[in-house]
Protein backbone atom coordinates (compact mmCIF):
# COMPACT_ATOMS: atom_id res chain seq x y z
CA UNK A 1 0.00 0.00 0.00
CA UNK A 2 1.32 3.40 -0.97
CA UNK A 3 1.70 6.06 1.65
CA UNK A 4 -0.10 9.17 0.50
CA UNK A 5 -0.53 12.62 1.95
CA UNK A 6 -3.91 14.21 2.60
CA UNK A 7 -3.95 17.94 3.33
CA UNK A 8 -5.13 18.84 6.82
CA UNK A 9 -8.71 20.09 6.79
CA UNK A 10 -7.85 22.74 9.40
CA UNK A 11 -5.22 24.45 7.23
CA UNK A 12 -5.65 26.84 4.34
CA UNK A 13 -4.48 25.27 1.12
CA UNK A 14 -2.01 26.67 -1.34
CA UNK A 15 -0.04 24.74 -3.96
CA UNK A 16 3.37 25.13 -2.35
CA UNK A 17 1.99 24.19 1.07
CA UNK A 18 0.52 20.96 -0.31
CA UNK A 19 3.80 20.04 -2.00
CA UNK A 20 5.78 20.87 1.15
CA UNK A 21 3.40 18.88 3.35
CA UNK A 22 3.70 15.88 1.09
CA UNK A 23 7.49 15.99 1.03
CA UNK A 24 7.77 16.57 4.78
CA UNK A 25 5.50 13.59 5.46
CA UNK A 26 7.67 11.35 3.27
CA UNK A 27 4.77 10.49 0.97
CA UNK A 28 5.13 10.13 -2.80
CA UNK A 29 1.48 10.84 -3.57
CA UNK A 30 -1.38 13.12 -2.58
CA UNK A 31 -5.07 12.32 -2.24
CA UNK A 32 -7.27 15.40 -2.53
CA UNK A 33 -11.03 15.14 -2.03
CA UNK A 34 -13.32 17.58 -3.84
CA UNK A 35 -14.50 19.11 -0.58
CA UNK A 36 -10.93 19.81 0.47
CA UNK A 37 -9.82 21.47 -2.76
CA UNK A 38 -10.28 25.24 -2.88
CA UNK A 39 -12.59 26.69 -5.56
CA UNK A 40 -9.51 28.01 -7.38
CA UNK A 41 -8.48 24.43 -8.14
CA UNK A 42 -11.57 24.00 -10.33
CA UNK A 43 -11.22 27.39 -12.05
CA UNK A 44 -8.28 26.74 -14.33
CA UNK A 45 -7.97 30.43 -15.21
CA UNK A 46 -6.57 31.04 -11.71
CA UNK A 47 -3.60 28.75 -12.50
CA UNK A 48 -3.87 27.25 -9.02
CA UNK A 49 -4.10 23.68 -10.35
CA UNK A 50 -1.27 24.32 -12.80
CA UNK A 51 0.97 25.62 -10.04
CA UNK A 52 0.19 22.56 -7.92
CA UNK A 53 0.88 20.14 -10.78
CA UNK A 54 4.12 21.91 -11.65
CA UNK A 55 5.35 21.60 -8.06
CA UNK A 56 4.36 17.95 -7.86
CA UNK A 57 6.06 17.12 -11.17
CA UNK A 58 9.26 18.73 -9.93
CA UNK A 59 9.41 16.24 -7.05
CA UNK A 60 7.89 13.23 -8.81
CA UNK A 61 4.77 13.24 -6.63
CA UNK A 62 1.50 11.79 -7.97
CA UNK A 63 -1.91 13.37 -7.35
CA UNK A 64 -5.32 11.69 -7.17
CA UNK A 65 -8.31 14.02 -6.97
CA UNK A 66 -11.77 12.74 -6.05
CA UNK A 67 -14.57 14.57 -7.88
CA UNK A 68 -17.74 12.46 -8.08
CA UNK A 69 -19.32 14.48 -10.89
CA UNK A 70 -17.15 16.70 -13.10
CA UNK A 71 -20.17 17.73 -15.19
CA UNK A 72 -20.96 20.48 -12.66
CA UNK A 73 -17.74 22.29 -13.54
CA UNK A 74 -16.56 24.32 -16.50
CA UNK A 75 -15.83 22.74 -19.87
CA UNK A 76 -12.16 23.55 -19.29
CA UNK A 77 -12.11 21.59 -16.03
CA UNK A 78 -13.98 18.71 -17.64
CA UNK A 79 -11.33 18.64 -20.39
CA UNK A 80 -8.61 18.74 -17.73
CA UNK A 81 -10.21 15.77 -15.91
CA UNK A 82 -10.53 13.81 -19.16
CA UNK A 83 -6.92 14.47 -20.10
CA UNK A 84 -5.76 13.55 -16.60
CA UNK A 85 -7.20 10.08 -17.17
CA UNK A 86 -4.46 9.41 -19.70
CA UNK A 87 -1.54 10.41 -17.51
CA UNK A 88 0.61 8.76 -14.89
CA UNK A 89 1.23 11.80 -12.69
CA UNK A 90 -2.28 12.90 -11.81
CA UNK A 91 -5.82 11.69 -12.29
CA UNK A 92 -9.36 12.64 -11.38
CA UNK A 93 -11.58 9.88 -9.98
CA UNK A 94 -15.29 9.57 -9.21
CA UNK A 95 -14.70 7.64 -5.99
CA UNK A 96 -12.16 7.59 -3.21
CA UNK A 97 -11.86 3.79 -3.58
CA UNK A 98 -10.78 4.19 -7.21
CA UNK A 99 -8.33 6.94 -6.28
CA UNK A 100 -6.77 4.86 -3.52
CA UNK A 101 -6.50 1.84 -5.83
CA UNK A 102 -4.62 3.94 -8.40
CA UNK A 103 -2.30 5.35 -5.75
CA UNK A 104 -1.63 1.84 -4.43
CA UNK A 105 -0.93 0.36 -7.88
CA UNK A 106 2.75 -0.17 -8.78
Distance of CA 65 to the CA centre of its chain: 4
Size of the chain in residues? 106
In contact, 30 and 18? CB cutoff 8 Å: yes
In contact, 65 and 40? CB cutoff 8 Å: no
List domains and CATH numbers for the chain: 15-104 (3.30.750)
pLDDT of residue 11: 77
* Tens digit of pLDDT at every position of the chain (106 positions): 558 999 887 777 899 999 999 999 999 999 999 988 889 999 999 999 999 999 999 999 999 999 999 999 999 999 999 999 888 999 999 999 999 999 998 7
Amino acid sequence: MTSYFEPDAAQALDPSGIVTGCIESGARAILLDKGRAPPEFFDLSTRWAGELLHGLAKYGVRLAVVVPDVSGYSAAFQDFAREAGRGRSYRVFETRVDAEAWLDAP
